[in-house]
Chain A
Amino acid sequence: MSDKNLLKTITKLNRDTKEGTVLWDSDRRAPSSLSGGDNLLGNMYSTRVLGKNIRLYKYEYKDYYEEESFHWSTRFRLELVDHWGATTFIFPEDTSIYDLYNSVMYQTSNVKDFLDSYLTDEDKKEGEPLF
C-alpha cells in the first residue's frame, strides 16, 4: 500500500463529496477511537463507500512539551471502521484530510442552498465590476 494511493483516495473522496457522489451524515457523539484526554470538536461525519464505513472528525489533544506542561493541539482523523464502530484503519495525517473536512462541512451544512435562497439576484449582482 503506497502513500501515493492513500493520498489519491483522500482527494478522490474530496472530489466525490463536492460533486455529491458521496454523501455524509453528521453525528454529535464522540467516536470510540478518541482516548480519554482527547475531545471531539464540532461534529463527527460518517459515510459508506464500497461497503466500507468511513469516519471523519476533528479533535483536540494534549501536546506535552514538558512533563507537566502541555498545550491543546488540533488534528483531523479519517478512519475506516467496522459495524461496531471500532477503528480498523487510520489514514496518515495530511493536508488533504483538512481539505476533505472542509468539503464535508460545506456539503452537510447546505451552505450553497442557503446562499442561493437568501441572496436575491439583485444582491448577487451588487458589487460586480462593470467590465
Chain B
Amino acid sequence: MSAVRSISFTNIYYHLYLEVDLGIVSTYKQNSNKVKRKELELLKKLFTEWDLETWANVLGVFSAFFAFAAFIVGLFVKSEIDKLKTKYIFDKRIKVHIKKLQEASATINSLLNDYDENRAQIRTEIGVIQAELEDIIPKLGAGQRRKCKKLVSFIKGRKKGDFVQQSNVSNSSLFTHISKYWYRVFQTSYDDIWVIYNLLIEIIRQIENIKKNTDNSL
C-alpha cells in the first residue's frame, strides 16, 4: 500500500513522495540528501566564507518579496485614507445634504398639487435632485449608494422625455397598459414623478439613519 510519508521543504522547492511498502526504492532519500548538501553549501558561503555575491542574491530575493508586500500594504493604506477623507467630508456636509433633499421633496410635493401647470418646474426640480444625489454618491459606502444610483439613473431617463399631462394617462385595458409602456421610452408621466418622490423620501430616511449612526458611534 502506498502512503504519504513526509513533505519536505527545501529552499523554494517542496517535494512530495509516495513510498511503497513493497520495497521499491524511492528517490526521496537520494534527492533529499542532494538538497541537504546544497543547503549546507549555501549556509557555508553565507556565514563562513561571507561570499558577497551569494549575499547579494539572497538579499535580492528577500528585498523583492518585501518590496511587493510594501506595495500591497501601501495600496491598502491609501484606500483607508481615502475612505477616512470621504467620511470626514460627509460628516461635515451631511446636515446640509439632508436639508437640501428635504427642501427638494417639499418643492416636488407642492408642485404636484397642480401637476399639469407645473410640469416645467418639476423637470427643473428633478434636475436639482439629480445634481444633489450625484454630489452625495461618492461620499457613501458601496452598499449605501445603490438607492441613490438607482434614482439618478431613473431621473436621467425620465428627464429627457416629454412630460405628458396627468389626464392623458389611462389605466383601463391591457392594450393601453402595453402602449403606455411603449411610449414610456419617449414620455414621462405623472406616475414617474411619484416614483421619484417615493425614492427620494427613502433616500432621505437612509441618510438620516446614517447620521444617527455616526452621531452615536465613537
Q: Which residues does A use to contact B, with CB under 8 Å?
A: 3-4, 7-8, 11, 14-15, 18, 94-96, 98-99, 102-103, 106, 111-112
Contact = CB atoms under 8 A, between A and B. Distances in A.
Contact of B102 (A95, A106, A112): A95
Contacts of B106: 95, 98-99, 102
A102 B110 contact: yes
Interface stretch (B36-44, B85-93, B196-204): B196-204
Q: Which label, helix, strand, loop or mixed, suits the secondary structure of the B interface?
A: helix
Q: DSSP majority for the A interface?
A: helix
A3 B208 CA distance: 13
Contacts, number: 40
B62 to A, nearest CB: 56
Interface of B: 102, 105-106, 109-110, 112-114, 194, 197-198, 201-202, 204-205
B201 A11 contact: yes
A7 B202 contact: yes
B202 A4 contact: yes
B113 A106 contact: yes
Given A111-B113, A112-B114, 12 more contacts: A7-B202, A7-B205, A11-B197, A11-B201, A15-B194, A18-B112, A94-B201, A94-B205, A95-B102, A95-B205, A98-B102, A99-B106
A99 B109 contact: yes
Task: List the 7 shortest-distance A-B pairs measured between CB atoms, nearest first.
Answer: A99-B109, A96-B201, A95-B102, A106-B113, A11-B198, A95-B204, A95-B105
Nearest to A3: B205
A103 B201 contact: no
A94 B194 CA distance: 17
Residue of B102, B109, B194, B202 with most partner-chain A CB within 10 A: B109
Contacts of B112: 18
